[in-house]
Structure 1
Amino acid sequence: MAACEPAGNSHLKASEPDNEYTTEHLPPAQPENRTEQGQLLQETLSSDPGNGSRVVHQAGLPEDVHAASVHVCEVMDKLGYSEAMVRYRQEAYRKRDIRLKWVTTGSKGEGLSSPCESDTDVLLLKKNILCKLPGHASLQLPDIITVFIMDGEHCHPGHFWLELDHLGNANITAPLFVHTNGKTYFSSQKLTERLKEIVQSVPGPTYTVSGPAVKHEFESERMDSVVALPIQQAMLSEWISRPRHHSWPSPELIQEISKLQAYLVPVGCKGSETKHMEWRLCFLGEQKLTNSFTECQFKLYIILKFLMKEELKPICNEMSSYIVKNIVFWFIESTQQELFYKETMFKCLLSCLQMLQQAIMDHHLSYYMFPGRNLLIGRINQSQQQQLIAKLNELIQEGPRVILRCPKVLEALYNMSPTELTEKSQRREEIEKLGLEWRYIMMKYIDLKDGWQQEEKDPDIITVKERIFDILWPLWRLYPFERIFKILNKKNKDALS
């Protein structure tokens, strides 16, 4: 993934120096005592993490499983996963969503990843389209609303064809439809193909299409935007009414989620012969569930995502954090809530790994929100299944030491002193909070043709940018910005890693 960049001055990228910590091509510093300033510059660069050998600190992992759980929870606080930081991110993205009228999903919306850790997933909610189940009368709708009837007869549960019932002004053109058996359907594949044609006509490499998502970068933030069509009816009757024995989700949370609209996104079922026609259910309530996680629960989820990325995804690329999320949902629902605390996190982790292993053995993992859908269908071949089962058995046998397979945690446990870890944590959080503030301010310029020019002159943005640069490198003012942009970029990436 590309490095996250400090805010602003994106128009200077063409003249940036090589992306290294080097002063070779920098002009002399502006103060008269250039020798002294040059020495300070070199000392600053050479002292940054990654430019020299590290001292190994043998704090490590306690032998006692409860003590190890607590210690790793505390280390994760310093790595950017404290409860306070998670809640801060959740609120920052919620405020931005209100301003932009979209929904940030995935790890960003959940508050569980820093700016450089993953792309930002966004749902673009269409207001002039409505999907409904057959046999249900439409609400009194304006004639401008386009209406589709959801046909699930040909699909794996949780997927639907969309039959055109009424064409309003949704700007859905004839090439996006498929005609079969005297009916007209909205093709998910044709929509993504059309999106690809549109973005390829946009000058420059800013936009691309991958699957259902339009991928683009705005001021160093990499975003995946997916169109989502609203559904008239509630789709969660089974989820709402099923018996629960351990008070999660709470009745209040179930009631809150039941009022949220469900959506369809242009993704077909893996391996389906009619994948090109299918649309998949999604629920905004999932984020309400992750937001309700306790500290132990969300750290459990994060560690499982680390292990998925490092150990399982290399075996099978279809293994995703979404599969992990559903394992965690099922595990929390089936476990007494009193058992989730710092001391038990590793025991919970091993139980989740066992649950995942069993799901892979069975080649079946029910979607938590809509259990009829099997999340593993068409994703794992027999060879991958055997390798994944063996790898999970290996991880489970390691017990608490499985955490050492997570590079971030391993680095913090063995290669950083407590003081170094604390100082880096404080610096990272300050920079990240400022970055989130900057992104919120600059979003008011996102739809303006000359937005970047106006943004450059915004006094609030200038203040935030300069505060970030001062933290990253106090000497930055001594040099022309266009010559040190990549140095600041690299420092920003290191600070947020």
Structure 2
Amino acid sequence: MAEGGNWRDDSEPEWDLRQRGLLCQSYHFQSHSENASVEICIMMNWLGYGPEMRQARRDAYREIDRIMSARADGEIKRITTGSKAEGLTRSFESDLDVMHVFRNVLCIEDGVQFDILQREITVFRLSTIMCYPGHCRLILERAGIMYRVIFDALCDDEYGRSLLCSDLFVYEFTPNYNLPDLVNHDRAGPSMPSSIRGTWHVDNVLSIPCHCPSILQRWAERRRHCPSPAIVQKVVSLRAYVTPVGFKGSRYRHVEWRICFNTGENELVSRLNNTQVYIYVILKMVVKEVLKPVNKEITSYTVKNIVLWLAENNPQTLFHERSLFVWICEGLGELRTAILTKRLQYYMIPERNLMEGCGIAEEQQRTWVATITGMINDGPKLILRLPKIRSAIISHPEPLMWYSKKRVELELLELKLFNRHFQCEDENGVLNESDPIYQAIVERRCEILKDVRQRMNWEGSRVNDLFEIIKMMLS
């Protein structure tokens, strides 16, 4: 929806929102931050971040993972991670992060016996000696089924032992989705990115499951307010993974691996309450739309860890819809401290500093600290710096409600279409477009886009291409 209108920023506490306001015609943001928090929580739901929409996204990507894993003949399991798995982004809003996990390979830490494992499982031993916390090397303990990508990535460590080289490993991997217009890109960290028609971007990470009970047990034994003991045990049961990327400052990063807990973190985020989720989403918007890091000095993963620490260290009763702005400012304060000190403990392995080697220059550091300080001082007004929320406020109430309903239905159709696409493909990747369910979804999607285009034209827009409209709506 087009932006318009002006916010009054003067000595008057009451702001005129062109006779519309945030669910009322005038609002005392500074003196009524609790009421502002409630209204923003409602608006976040309209914007597609409510529990029902989050669950629909999670279900859709789990189904895609199931279909794609079944096609891999039991060798590789696909797991969607990141914001898509968390249900927090629309179809075109961010990259799709996918782990491709070997089924017949396992990494184990010292002290774990592997004699009871089936002989076809290839076993590597984690070696954390001389490695930065959260990183390791993989020493071959037993060769079972030896995939070509693993065999070609083995190297000698000069002591007669075989190491799995992370650099060789990641370059041996080429994702293949049997999709038209698929373009593979250069390596980015542990990922081999690909894109389709320049619109769908996928970060593919080939990884190996890891059994490290001592690391998970240390995490489980921490005193905490959240999550509950039952969820803690579930996270422990979900094990860890190693991904092919070493520590930036290490001389041996080409043979180092990073220990990750992707599925456990997905579970933890899914257990956050609505207010905690909205804090997470808004802080991500601050990073992306206000700070705008160029070289990933700060990422959404930084924000995720801040929110998980906040949830663990504070009573859950304090996280409610009337306290949203209090916790947004608290989260901003933690982010400011992390930037200023260049230190943020990794939630799963606190010894690892997520800001180590982040590459923040001094001038950039000063600018970001000043910007965040200004936002904290703004109180509820800080929300106006976020284009997506500001546009929603200005278009409220009737245009936003109409548009929100259209966008929600469109996104649900897009998720169903994505699933149906893979269900209707044959073994050669040829799509059966005559499938009646596939056709019905496409037709309804087209009807919605035409309705939106007509309203946009009434409001003066000149955008007519339906594909451009769907990208705008689901980004």
**CA distance in 1: counterparts of 2:126 and 2:425, whole angstroms:** 34
Aligned match of 1:341 in 309, 316, 320? 320
Q: Which residue pairs with 2:371 in the alignment? A: 391
Aligned match of 1:488 in 448, 456, 466? 466
Matched, 1:66 2:34: yes
**CA distance in 1: counterparts of 2:464 and 2:208, whole angstroms:** 41
Matched, 1:360 2:360: no
Q: String of CA shifts for 1:33-78, please: whole Å, max 9, x gaps.
A: xxxxxxxxxxxxxxxx56xx85775344632211111111112222
Q: Which residue pairs with 1:229 in the alignment? A: 208
Q: String of CA shifts for 1:322-343, please: whole Å, max 9, x gaps.
A: 0000000001111111111111
Q: Is the 8 A contact 2:182 2:195 kept in 1?
A: no
Q: String of CA shifts for 1:198-241, please: whole Å, max 9, x gaps.
A: 88xx9976222332222224586432111120113323111101
Aligned match of 2:67 in 96, 99, 107? 99
**CA distance in 2: counterparts of 1:343 and 1:83, whole angstroms:** 18
Q: Which residue pairs with 1:435 in the alignment? A: 414
Aligned match of 1:81 in 49, 53, 56? 49
Q: Which residue pairs with 2:183 in the alignment? A: 206
Aligned match of 1:472 in 424, 449, 452? 449
Residue 89 of structure 2: SS of its match in structure 1? Answer: coil
Residue 236 of structure 1: SS of its match in structure 2? Answer: helix
**What is the CA-CA distance between 1:175 and the residue it aligns to?**
4.3
Task: Compare relative contact order (CA 8 Å, sep 6+) and give the higher one, 1 or 2.
Answer: 1
Q: Which residue pairs with 2:14 in the alignment? A: none
Q: Is the 8 A contact 1:145 1:170 kept in 2?
A: no
Q: Is the 8 A contact 2:38 2:322 kept in 1?
A: yes
**CA distance in 1: counterparts of 2:269 and 2:203, whole angstroms:** 20
**CA distance in 2: counterparts of 1:236 and 1:314, whole angstroms:** 32
**CA distance in 2: counterparts of 1:295 and 1:382, whole angstroms:** 35
**What is the CA-CA distance between 1:288 and the residue it aligns to?**
0.7
Q: 1:121 to 1:173 in 2, by over 3 A?
A: closer
Q: Where do 5+ consecutive residues of structure 2 fail to align?
A: 7-16, 70-77, 454-462
**CA distance in 2: counterparts of 1:132 and 1:394, whole angstroms:** 47
Matches within 5 A, 1:104-183: 104-168=80-144, 169-172=146-149, 175-182=152-159, 183=161
**CA distance in 2: counterparts of 1:117 and 1:286, whole angstroms:** 20
Aligned match of 1:407 in 387, 390, 397? 387
Matched, 1:461 2:461: no
**What is the CA-CA distance between 1:359 and the residue it aligns to?**
2.4
Matched, 1:419 2:395: no
Q: Is the 8 A contact 1:146 1:170 kept in 2?
A: no
Matches within 5 A, 1:234-313: 234=213, 235-244=215-224, 246=225, 248-283=226-261, 284-313=263-292
Matches within 5 A, 1:42-53: none
Q: 1:420 to 1:229 in 2, by over 3 A?
A: same
In our comparison, the structure showing a higher alpha carbon Rg is: 1
Q: Is the 8 A contact 1:129 1:170 kept in 2?
A: no
Q: 1:316 to 1:215 in 2, by over 3 A?
A: closer
Q: Which residue pairs with 2:72 in the alignment? A: none
Q: 1:274 to 1:203 in 2, by over 3 A?
A: farther
Q: Which residue pairs with 1:369 in the alignment? A: 348
Q: Is the 8 A contact 1:360 1:385 kept in 2?
A: yes
**CA distance in 1: counterparts of 2:195 and 2:423, whole angstroms:** 16
**What is the CA-CA distance between 1:85 and the residue it aligns to?**
1.1
Q: 1:495 to 1:316 in 2, by over 3 A?
A: closer
Q: String of CA shifts for 1:64-112, please: whole Å, max 9, x gaps.
A: 2111111111122221112221122122222322332321111110000
**CA distance in 1: counterparts of 2:425 and 2:194, whole angstroms:** 13
Q: Is the 8 A contact 2:245 2:257 kept in 1?
A: yes
Q: 1:269 to 1:192 in 2, by over 3 A?
A: same
Residue 419 of structure 2: SS of its match in structure 1? Answer: helix
Q: Which residue pairs with 1:185 in the alignment? A: 163
Q: Is the 8 A contact 1:263 1:282 kept in 2?
A: yes
Residue 230 of structure 1: SS of its match in structure 2? Answer: strand
Q: Is the 8 A contact 2:150 2:164 kept in 1?
A: no
Q: Is the 8 A contact 1:119 1:223 kept in 2?
A: yes
Residue 473 of structure 1: SS of its match in structure 2? Answer: helix
Aligned residues: 431
Q: Which residue pairs with 2:73 in the alignment? A: none
**CA distance in 1: counterparts of 2:181 and 2:41, whole angstroms:** 44
**CA distance in 1: counterparts of 2:425 and 2:369, whole angstroms:** 46
Aligned-pair identity (%): 34
Q: Is the 8 A contact 2:150 2:169 kept in 1?
A: no
